[in-house]
Amino acid sequence: MKATVQEYQAIGITKVADGEYRAILQANPVVVTREGMDGKTVTEHEVDIYKTGIIYVASEAKAQAYLEANFDAVVAELASEETKQEAATAGERAQENLDATDYKIVKCAELGLDVETTYPGLKAQRAAWRELVNAAR
């Protein structure tokens, strides 16, 4: 979520089940111009769509009132969830990088080679990747 609280707009409330609702918000509007299939220029508006967690209230009107009264807190919760997701994704990529370079460490150990001499910067890079993995946990 790169938008500020003021950039979010509530666009609706959806019923999940009796007494359970979700708010739908949009943010980060962007105007995109592209070439259509017919060769003509097409202008489109893109936005990021966010769904809140379940709001447990008796009616859609009460869900709307809850959203209006707690809008900043709802947006903060969405931002927190997105930050956690970004950290998890970065951690997964870092783990993949660690896995992909494990053989270099093993190779150096087997051959009695100095890792830093054979693969300059690898130790520092792997340490940084480990920090990302640990932060994602």
Give the tens place of pLDDT for each residue, 33-86: 999 889 999 999 888 888 898 999 999 999 999 999 999 899 888 888 888 888
Give the tens place of pLDDT for each residue, 13-33: 999 999 999 999 998 888 999
Range of the domain at 131: 88-136
Q: How many CB atoms lie within 10 A of CB 55?
A: 20
In a domain, 50, yes or no: yes
- Give the pLDDT band of residue 1 (cuts 50, 70, 90): very low
Per-residue burial over 18-53, b if 16 or more Cβ lie within 10 Å, else e, is eeebbbebbbeeeeeeeeeeeeeeeeeeeebebebe
In a domain, 77, yes or no: no
* 102 & 57 share domain: no
* 53 & 92 share domain: no
- Give the pLDDT band of residue 114 (cuts 50, 70, 90): very high
In a domain, 81, yes or no: no
Residue 128 reports pLDDT greater than 60:
yes
What's the pTM value of the predicted model, to 2 decimals? 0.56
Our count of domains for the chain comes to 2
For 46, list phi and psi in degrees, rounded to 5: -110, 145
* 94 & 61 share domain: no
* 57 & 12 share domain: yes
